[in-house]
Structure 1
Amino acid sequence: MKDEEGLKLIKELLEIYDQGFIAQTLNDLGFDSWCRESINRWVKGKADRKLSHGEFEHLKSLLPKPFQEQGHEFRFIDLFAGIGGIRRGFDEIGGKCVFTSEWNKYAVRTYKANHYSDPEHIFNEDIREVTLSDREDVSEEEAYAHIDNLIPDHDVLLAGFPCQPFSIAGVSKKNSLGRAHGFECNTQGTLFFDVARIIQAKRPAAFLLENVKNLKSHDKGKTFKIILEALDELGYEVSDVNYDGPQDPKIIDAKHFVPQHRERIVLVGFRRDLDVHNGFTLKDIRKHFPENVTTFGEILEPEKEVDDRYILTPKLWQYLYDYAAKHKAKGNGFGFGLTGPNDVARTLSARYYKDGSEILVDRGWDMEAGFDDMINQGNRPRRLTPKECARLMGFDEPDESNFKVPVSDTQAYKQFGNSVAVPVFRAVAKMMKPRILEAKLKIEKRESKAA
């Protein structure tokens, strides 16, 4: 194997795994004489070395493979991508991801470990480098031209953008100069603004935006109203936009797909001029509910295979128990979530790494027994393992472990807590597909006539 090919492969792997892991995986298969230092020296050009064919093929297998080799039906981009939870459903329905943006370096490692990137694919860390939203000396026209140049053409835009407070006053000098207008004025200083700029510059046929349920009520509903007005101004028809009842179809609870209560707001929009919306409603997601939802017990690893470090220490368990008892006495509902095999778990959050209190695996603790006598017994609750978190979020099936987690437990918990429940967005992707393809065909016909 040529040196340059092996070196290129090693460098690609180092964007995901550390030198120790790469060396260990080679040594475990009998390819000895590798260590962290030998890899460092080779990458820095201080050692002349070749990978054998077996070594090369093994290391190559650590990289994700394309979901399908050819025949992609449409193209999409993945913004504020996290670890790719929204992307997976669109890969599965024949989409090709051509651009990804994610700023967290640990999330990027997990994303790259699990999602294939072909030579055409572009990876961006800070979306503001593309939208120029942090530049006050750039006109709207210059920003749009910059976006159009850096982001490939695509049919669908995906974005799980973070929610930030909207502040119209004092956001930019452009306002005082009278240069900004419409959504450019009203959404500046937020990450939604970057999404809106990309939509304006690239005009995708459709988009899917995801956020926390509270986005709808944030600032007495003003934030959500501004977002919907901006999307309308951009020329898109958003599904279920006028629905304001208690069972809003835009708010989807993952409990219908996985054993976890996790409500997220989902906005699906189609370009109005393409006339493909045709009554699209997220109410129809009910048709995609699985007949039998995986139980919490089914996502758990065999107890004998779970490392003891996931079991709460006596001190932490005592603290959580006392904390819950104190609030219970005051009539509050605050406390840990002890979850049994047939229960629906609470929402996994990014703070799970701190104490795991929202989802503790019940290992047979008797809440009615004397606590002081039982505190040191081995059946204290435990945290979920990262593998179990992957299953709870729908990245893996209960009996699988295909999703790679190349980061520490702390980072893994943050990533899964910030992610989405994959089956929810797999269902939405399937619902969107016919309209995406119809819109794509209409665009192609228009371009053909114009030519």
Structure 2
Amino acid sequence: MTNRSRAPWRVAEFFAGIGLAGTGLRAAGLEVTWSNDIAKAKHDLFRRLNGKIRGHRYIVGDLGKLSSSDLPYDSDLAWASFPCTDLSIAGTRAGLHKGAASSTFWHFIKALSALGDSRPRLIALENVTAFATSHSGRDIASAIRSLNGLGYSVDILSIDARHFLPQSRPRLFLVGVSGAVLDDGKAGSIRPKWLDPIYADPSLRTHRMGLPELPPLRTTGLAEILEQVGDGDDRWWARERVAVFIESLSRAQRARFDALLAGTSYSYRTAYRRMRDGVPRWEVRSDEVAGCLRTSSGGSSKQAVVEVGHGTCRVRWMTPMEYASLMGAPSASLSGISDHHAYSGFGDAVCAPVVEWLARNYLVPVLESAADDSPQDTWALAG
């Protein structure tokens, strides 16, 4: 497998989308040299956000149909944020094998296999936490077993973006390492107990790397990322629409809302519209963080921003720029980009600060250790 002896470490980004994983990886000192995604619209947004990156190649096309000459043969790390549609509890739950979208994971495995001895030393997968329970755990076991077959031992981590940003966005990360692995056996909050059955499965080759504590979970910060939308801006909903919003709140939700309404300062919350017993209802979060951003597939998938206090309430949809900030790209230039493409691109991405933390504390140390220990084809754990 690929084993270069020095940085900058080279990364191939599969299912790259708009490239936010790459943003986090580059912030940690890694060099993203190859990207692939099937969606041209996401590639267009990638170019808007990143411009031309020297030495970087982005291939738009179906991964399952790429020729061998298009594959990245000189990468140290392969990152893959493959589709969650068939794994998420909000999706079909068709699974890793039967789901039309999530089954593209196997195109990734096929590509790794085609690389042969040029496979990267390190693999990182990202998906929703429901991946761990899809088909009673059989899907994630199948994925780990396929990586084991290619020579990788696998570690499983659960990280919420709320450690870094005012957005509740828990995600699962699988890190595959080639060669002999020294396991420090540590669990902790980054490997919650519901992952124990995976580590306990004797048919799977897994390991645990010692990692530092994550920053505390945020409960505030939403107001800091909100755009200043003036009183006369037509993005604020009309009074009649706000009245319907308030009327749809459940009894418990209304009690919480009324307490905020009576406050002597303005509070900022996000809200989702959900079906409850066949009735559409708005639900306002109790904390000052956003709910998990989603792709733009209708009004119910977007979040509303609620400003409430001093006896008044205003409501509007969250803006594309607020989406970008909540994903760790506050300096993104979205001029000329349709709201739909921005919502879809950012809602379907991975939070850049989470990737940067994982890269600095796990991926880069493993690559550095692997380079130092290459004659023995092993790496030591930090602990």
Specify the alignment match of 1:434 in structure 2: 365
- The alpha carbon displacement at 1:93 in A equals 2.1
Give aligned-pair identity as a percent: 24
Q: Which of 131, 142, 166 is matched with 1:259 structurally?
A: 166
Specify the alignment match of 2:150 in structure 1: 234
Equivalent pairs, count: 319
Q: Distance in 2 between matches of 1:116 and 1:356?
A: 29
Specify the alignment match of 2:106 in structure 1: 193
Q: Distance in 2 between matches of 1:130 and 1:166?
A: 22
Please, what TM-score do these two structures have when normalized by structure 1? 0.61
- The alpha carbon displacement at 1:336 in A equals 2.6
Q: Distance in 2 between matches of 1:311 and 1:130?
A: 46
Specify the alignment match of 1:159 in structure 2: 80
- The alpha carbon displacement at 1:264 in A equals 0.9
Given the alignment of the two structures, is residue 115 of structure 1 paired with residue 50 of structure 2, yes or no? yes
Larger Rg: 1
Whichever residue aligns with residue 251 of structure 1, its letter is S
Given the alignment of the two structures, is residue 385 of structure 1 paired with residue 329 of structure 2, yes or no? no
Whichever residue aligns with residue 98 of structure 1, its letter is T
- The alpha carbon displacement at 1:280 in A equals 8.4
Q: Which of 304, 314, 336 is matched with 2:282 structurally?
A: 336
Q: Distance in 2 between matches of 1:309 and 1:441?
A: 59
- The alpha carbon displacement at 1:439 in A equals 2.0
Specify the alignment match of 2:71 in structure 1: 150
Specify the alignment match of 1:97 in structure 2: 32
Structure 1 regions of 5+ residues with no counterpart? 1-70, 132-145, 172-186, 241-249, 370-376, 447-451
Q: Distance in 2 between matches of 1:116 and 1:276?
A: 40
Show CA shifts across 1:324-351 (max 9, x none).
44998998697334468x6122111113
State the SS of the aligned residue for 2:314.
coil
Q: Distance in 2 between matches of 1:331 and 1:410?
A: 26
State the SS of the aligned residue for 2:337.
coil
Show CA shifts across 1:218-265 (max 9, x none).
12222112112111222111114xxxxxxxxx2221111111111111
Greater length-normalized contact order (CA 8 Å, ≥ 6 residues apart):
2
Q: Distance in 2 between matches of 1:150 and 1:113?
A: 24
State the SS of the aligned residue for 1:209.
strand
Distance 1:335 1:148, change over 3 A: same
The within-5 A match list for 1:49-64 is none
Q: Distance in 1 between matches of 2:348 and 2:62?
A: 18
Distance 1:319 1:152, change over 3 A: farther
Q: Distance in 2 between matches of 1:156 and 1:307?
A: 50
Specify the alignment match of 1:5 in structure 2: none
Distance 1:279 1:82, change over 3 A: farther
The within-5 A match list for 1:21-420 is 73-115=8-50, 117-118=52-53, 120-128=55-63, 130-131=65-66, 146-147=67-68, 150-163=71-84, 164=86, 165=94, 190-200=103-113, 201=115, 202-240=118-156, 250-273=157-180, 275=181, 282=190, 287-289=213-215, 295-304=221-230, 308-314=233-239, 316-325=241-250, 335-338=281-284, 343-351=288-296, 354=299, 359-364=303-308, 379-396=313-330, 401-404=331-334, 406-420=336-350
Distance 1:167 1:81, change over 3 A: closer
Distance 1:189 1:411, change over 3 A: closer
Q: Distance in 1 between matches of 2:24 and 2:357?
A: 7
Q: Distance in 2 between matches of 1:425 and 1:412?
A: 20
8 Å CA contact 1:258, 1:294 repeated in 2: no
Specify the alignment match of 2:264 in structure 1: none
Distance 1:78 1:278, change over 3 A: farther
- The alpha carbon displacement at 1:105 in A equals 1.9
State the SS of the aligned residue for 1:222.
helix
8 Å CA contact 1:312, 1:381 repeated in 2: yes
Q: Distance in 1 between matches of 2:126 and 2:232?
A: 35
- The alpha carbon displacement at 1:316 in A equals 4.7
Show CA shifts across 1:407-444 (max 9, x none).
20121111121112221111101112111122245559
Q: Distance in 2 between matches of 1:251 and 1:409?
A: 30
Higher helix proportion (structure 1 or 2): 1
Higher strand proportion (structure 1 or 2): 2
8 Å CA contact 1:353, 1:413 repeated in 2: no
Q: Distance in 2 between matches of 1:189 and 1:409?
A: 26
Distance 1:288 1:403, change over 3 A: farther
Q: Distance in 1 between matches of 2:105 and 2:64?
A: 15
Structure 2 regions of 5+ residues with no counterpart? 1-5, 87-93, 192-209, 255-274, 378-383
- The alpha carbon displacement at 1:308 in A equals 2.4
State the SS of the aligned residue for 1:99.
strand
Q: Distance in 1 between matches of 2:221 and 2:297?
A: 20
State the SS of the aligned residue for 1:158.
strand
Given the alignment of the two structures, is residue 423 of structure 1 paired with residue 345 of structure 2, yes or no? no
Whichever residue aligns with residue 358 of structure 2, its letter is V
Q: Distance in 1 between matches of 2:316 and 2:70?
A: 50
State the SS of the aligned residue for 1:86.
helix
State the SS of the aligned residue for 1:81.
coil
User: RMSD value over aligned CA atoms?
Assistant: 3.8
